Amino acid sequence: MSGGVDSSVAAALLQRDGHEVVGCFMRLGSPGEELETPIDGAECKVGQARIGHQGCCSINDAADARLVAAKLAIPFYVVNFRNDFGRIISYFEEEYHAGRTPNPCVRCNDWLKFGKLRQYAEQLGCDAVATGHYARVAQTDAGPRIQRGLDRAKDQSYVLFGIGREALARMMLPIGEMEKPFVRGLAREHALPVSDKPDSQEICFVPDDYAAFLERRKPERFAEGAIVDESGRELGRHDGHQHFTVGQRKGIRVPATIPLYVLRKDPERNAVVVGPREALDVRAVEAGEVVWYGDERAATELVCTAQVRAHGAPIPARATVLERDGARVLSVAFDRAEPGVAPGQAVVCYDAEERILGGGWIAATFRA
């Protein structure tokens, strides 16, 4: 239970259907979290949440989750994953410093929500972990598969691709068959105090600009370098390649007769390569750390749609799972060029029924 309307309604629906529900809030150590110790015997005020019998946590989201759990009369636990969350922040930092484009939300689902939290649920004797994601679990002859949510504008199946078969077998997504306005209506019907709470938008541990966040943590990793064209000719200077992302146009500050875009970054030379818009087009990618739910024996091309961003449009494509140097590689060829695809992003493949075949983390891109 994150304290938002989606997970709150998910808990209410599970309770309505007769399940024994236990609410859990993950304490991650995001900016602004402070543990407060009240005076002995003092009550936790509205806007604070009790952690065991030790004190209060001033996070508004934890407070909202606690209020919803109280409304539903279900047990509520705050689990301290601060140390584990440090792994996600470190991943985020190292990917950017290595010139790649990370996705910490996917990693959080893989490592924490359906990793550490699933282990915690097993310790409590729970049969499944349920969340408020807009996605569905589809039962097939080959086992359960993740399917796009009914609300395509809110679909979150992409960020769940990496959880694996074991976690998927013990996963419930109660609002996957619903659209957001209907979910808010259910929250009002159940008189949940979060029915009109706005959706969260940004990465939870980055309170402002991501590059500023990185520079505050490790300023020594930032250094002046060259902005170059594709031939290597220097066009200008930058204050650190981490300030740029593939596809970026604004902020390059290089005089040119045509608009320039960031094509790629070279962290070894601390260089940012820029060029015209058409040079951003990618027609194929290769990905590692493959998680595959389709037929393991299929070595031929599979017609599918691919997605390379959390809210990106599906791309008609063909996918092949290969074995290379003892590891699986996912090769995806797009039927049309896709601009601004970068190493570090996830590529996720779907079948004709919008069920996830599998995905991986992009290691290489191939231009049109």
pLDDT at res. 230: 95
pLDDT at res. 53: 30
For residue 30, give both structure tokens.
């995001």
Q: Where exactly does CATH 2.30.30.280 map onto the chain?
A: 221-275
Q: Which CATH architecture has domain 281-367?
A: Beta Barrel (2.40)
pLDDT at res. 82: 87
Q: Where exactly does CATH 2.40.30.10 map onto the chain?
A: 281-367
Q: How far apart are CA 368 and CA 284, in angstroms?
A: 8
Q: Please check whether the domain covering 5-189 is classified as CATH 3.40.30.10.
A: no
Q: What is the mean pLDDT of residues 286-292?
A: 97
Q: Where exactly does CATH 3.40.50.620 map onto the chain?
A: 5-189
Look at 43-52, 114-123, 165-174 and tell me which has the smallest mean pLDDT.
Answer: 43-52
pLDDT at res. 185: 97
Q: How do beta strands 281-292 and 356-367 pair? A: antiparallel
Q: How far apart are CA 54 and CA 83, in angstroms?
A: 19
Q: Which CATH architecture has domain 221-275?
A: Roll (2.30)
Question: Which are the catalytic amino acids?
Answer: 108, 204
Query: What percentage of the chain carries pLDDT values higher than 90?
Result: 79
Q: What is the pTM of this model?
A: 0.89
Distance of CA 289 to the CA centre of its chain: 16
Whether residue 97 has pLDDT greater than 70 = yes
What ranges in 265-337 are assigned the alpha helix state H? none
